[in-house]
Amino acid sequence: MDGISLDQLRTFVVTVDEGSFSAAGRRLGRAQSAVSELIRSLEIRLGVELFDRDGRYPRLTGAGDLLLPKAREIIAKVDIFKSYAKGMATGLEAELSVVIDVFFPIHIIAEAAKDFRERFPTVPLRLFVEALGGTVEPILDRRANVGIVGSLPVMPSGIATEPLGSILFNIVASADHPLSLIEGPISKSQLEQHVQLILTDRTELSAGREFGVMSSQTWRLADLFAKHTFLINGLGWGGMPEHAVKTDIEEGRLVSLIIEDLPAGGLRLPVSIAYRSDDPPGPAGRWFIGRLTACSNDSSIK
């Protein structure tokens, strides 16, 4: 197997794709004899015949048919390897890690990620979904390059931010919850009589602080999906991003509550891009931020 070159493998694949040695030569800019010699030397190195040459056009042998996908795989891996090296030489990140606030609309992330894959096919994308301090801790620990932060109003030192927009936040309860039956604005004292479902911070970055807690009776959950399910099942009331409960409200499973001294249309939660001030995003990260900003021109974030 020693002495097999990438040039030989490429010639093998092109010959199969073009259907003849002469057509492969035209595509590669080589004489037919040079193509034939490269294939013959590859066959000698491998110890098997790749083509049956008895007919007018070369046909793959059984061995050639089995080895063809392996040759394509090797060529693809080498091309990716070269692209990685080229990107690193120009400052392109070897990987882009992004931590996302759980309240942020995931369809916007998916749209930006799809475009990112087309623009940077050699840069792997790693995504974390967290809440509160969980969106900042991975950046501080250098586990994430960029964060979409929406629920931590005070940033730790060393974190730079850029405004991205805001998310509409609704206070909701199930249709059969006692609060949903109250006509007119609901007072804080009425809220106090019922369990509030809130998200917990899995880090210590918000220790001693409470965000949006309006009841002394609380159930704490670490997952937004669990909170959503608990709300629908009437186990409490709480705040949810509008895009996550819009269908439930329209279909009558949840009711948007009107609270005294709060805007009737819901609260707006500011959202920012965050990263370490001593390690700003590279070309891929900066492009992703720009694409997120463009994709955020959506009804769910403004």
> What integer is the mean pLDDT of 268-288?
87
In a domain, 302, yes or no: no
CA distance 141 to 276: 10
Residues 145 and 198 in one domain: no
Q: Could you tell me the sign of the dihedral formed by the alpha carbons of 64, 68, 69, 70, in that order?
A: positive
Chain-centroid distance of CA 64 in Å reads 39
Regarding beta strands 125-130 and 59-60, do their DSSP bridges make them parallel or antiparallel, or are they unpaired? unpaired
Q: How many residues does the chain have?
A: 302
Give the CA angle between residues 273, 274, 275 to the nearest 5°: 135
Residues 6+ away with beta carbon under 8 Å from 231 = 172, 173, 174, 197, 237, 238, 240, 245, 254
Q: Is the pLDDT of residue 174 over 80?
A: yes
Q: Is the pLDDT of residue 235 over 90?
A: yes
Residues 109 and 76 in one domain: no
Can you give the CATH number for the domain in which 24 is found?
1.10.10.10
In a domain, 65, yes or no: yes
In a domain, 300, yes or no: no
In a domain, 143, yes or no: yes
CA distance 284 to 290: 10
Confidence of residue 245 (pLDDT cuts 50, 70, 90): very high
Tens of pLDDT, residue by residue over 95-119, are 899 999 888 888 899 999 999 999 9
> What integer is the mean pLDDT of 126-140?
83
Q: Which of 44-58, 124-138, 167-181, 287-301 shows the lowest per-residue confidence on average (mean pLDDT)?
A: 287-301
CA distance 282 to 296: 21
Do residues 280 and 160 touch, judged by C-beta distance below 8 A? yes
pLDDT of residue 249: 93
Regarding beta strands 254-256 and 159-174, do their DSSP bridges make them parallel or antiparallel, or are they unpaired? antiparallel
**What is the overall mean pLDDT for the chain?**
84
Higher-confidence position of 83 and 79: 79
Tens of pLDDT, residue by residue over 190-234, are 888 899 998 876 655 454 455 567 777 889 888 888 999 999 999
Confidence of residue 163 (pLDDT cuts 50, 70, 90): confident
Residues 157 and 41 in one domain: no
- pLDDT more than 70, % of the chain: 88
Regarding beta strands 146-149 and 96-101, do their DSSP bridges make them parallel or antiparallel, or are they unpaired? parallel
Residues 263 and 179 in one domain: yes
Residues 101 and 144 in one domain: yes
Structural domains of the chain, count: 3
Confidence of residue 86 (pLDDT cuts 50, 70, 90): low
User: 25 is written with which tokens?
Assistant: 């030569």
Can you give the CATH number for the domain in which 227 is found?
3.40.190.290
Residues 6+ away with beta carbon under 8 Å from 137 = 130, 203, 205
> What integer is the mean pLDDT of 55-61?
88
In a domain, 27, yes or no: yes
Can you give the CATH number for the domain in which 275 is found?
3.40.190.10
Q: Which of 78-87, 191-200, 265-274 shows the lowest per-residue confidence on average (mean pLDDT)?
A: 78-87
Amino acid residing at 179: L
pLDDT of residue 203: 54
> What integer is the mean pLDDT of 254-281?
86
pLDDT of residue 208: 45
Do residues 174 and 193 touch, judged by C-beta distance below 8 A? no
Residues 49 and 81 in one domain: yes
Q: Is the pLDDT of residue 296 over 80?
A: no
Q: Is the pLDDT of residue 260 over 60?
A: yes
Q: Is the pLDDT of residue 1 over 60?
A: no
- pLDDT more than 90, % of the chain: 25
125 DSSP β-pair partners: 96
Domain that holds residue 254: 167-268
In a domain, 1, yes or no: no
User: 81 is written with which tokens?
Assistant: 């390897």
Residues 121 and 84 in one domain: no
